Amino acid sequence: MAGRLFALFGGLASFGIGNMAQGNSVAHALEASFGISRLVTGIVLAVITGAVILGGLKSIANVTEILVPFMALFYMVGAIAVLITNVEKILPALGLIISQAFTGTAAAGGFAGATVLMTITTGVARGVFSHEAGLGSAPIVHATARVEHPVQQGLWGIFEVFMDTLVMCTLTALAIIMTGAWQTGKSGAELTAMAFNQGIPGWGTYVVSIGVVLFAYATILAWQYYGEKCWEYLFGSAVRLPYRIIWLPIIVLGCLGKLNFVWELSDTLNGLMAIPNLIALLGLSPVIFRLTSEYFTKRV
């Protein structure tokens, strides 16, 4: 039962976190930086996505294994450049993060009791959106890997969370705070682009825009596969082609949608997906502990 619920919610969530939210980020970034119409962005993104996903898993893997390392390095170099140009502000920025973590500034207002709750809720939602830990989505593709022991692949999953959240997101947060962009009232990719452009004038906008496009495109490809496997589990292999066809116009809708609505929809679907997965993880925890102990015991 948990497996079917997970597949249902995972299939629905794929249209949010992995499709509409990604397209929306790209559309807003390109519109703010270059004045490109969101409709044009949606159509182009749908076309180049369709060119890959209609080829199946192998085609997706061939594209993402090139994109992911390049985009991570490209974005990190840009973020580090922003930090270097404002190096004297790093410690004050870290202090501000710590001092304001549970205040009205972090939670965007509200009375005392709701402030902390709002802060935690928003923080957890954005963290899950970033690294997907607890959703059960990444294991769908991790399960296709060939390794000597399952814990070995699990450690790569932990490394992904570390790089994505502790490294990439921290660099982004510091850049936004150090440049003062966080006080402008902007949000999403537009906020990050503003911060980078203040840190490295003339180049920052391009770094963020290219980075957002590459990150989002890789995520769209990956989540299309996640969602396809969820629906396939429920309805069989016949669902593959219809799902891929439906996937493409949803990208365009995401690009045209309002930022807040798309994020709220994604957060809701993510929560539904996480519930059966976390329950299953609790039930399987004895197996996880046993395999982990077995793996590290053998290595020692």
pTM (two decimals): 0.77
What gap in Å lies between CA 22 and CA 15, rounded to an integer? 10
The mean per-residue pLDDT over the stretch 89-100 comes to 82
How far apart CA 81 and CA 86 sit, in angstroms, is 9
What's residue 39's pLDDT? 93
Check pLDDT > 70 for residue 126: no
Percent residues over pLDDT 70 in the chain: 84
206, 280, 221, 264: which is closest to 34 by C-alpha? 206
Count, in order, helices (H) and strands (E) of the chain.
14, 0
The mean per-residue pLDDT over the stretch 285-296 comes to: 87
